[in-house]
């Protein structure tokens, strides 16, 4: 994957997967910060934050699977 990140990928599918991976990682970090005592406020809905964390983790796994599938296909050609 480091090769994918070090240069601009030619494949639109790879670029889309990398964008999803990156944006989901930032969202995950943001959602997790909401659970920290310093960031959390009395109105923080922990159930909602938990759902958001689960969704971010799912999106990260989805993007990673896409990248593995794409690179496996490219390496086999």
Domain boundaries of the chain, sorted by first residue: 43-76
Query: Who has greater pLDDT, 28 or 71?
Result: 28
Mean pLDDT of 13-36: 90
Q: Note the pLDDT tens digit of each residue in 34-76.
A: 888 776 677 778 899 899 999 999 999 999 999 999 888 877 8
What is the predicted pLDDT for the residue at 8? 64
Q: What pLDDT score was predicted for residue 40?
A: 66
Query: What was the pLDDT predicted at 21?
Result: 93
**Which pTM does this prediction carry?**
0.74
As a whole number of angstroms, the distance between CA 51 and CA 47 comes to 6
């Amino acid at each position: 994957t480091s090769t994918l990140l070090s240069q601009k990928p030619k494949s639109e599918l790879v670029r889309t997967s990398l964008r999803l991976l990156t944006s989901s990682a930032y969202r995950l970090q943001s959602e997790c910060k909401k659970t920290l005592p310093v960031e959390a406020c009395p109105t923080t809905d922990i159930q909602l934050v938990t759902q958001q964390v689960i969704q971010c983790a799912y999106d990260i796994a989805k993007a990673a699977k896409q990248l593995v599938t794409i690179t496996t296909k490219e390496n086999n050609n």
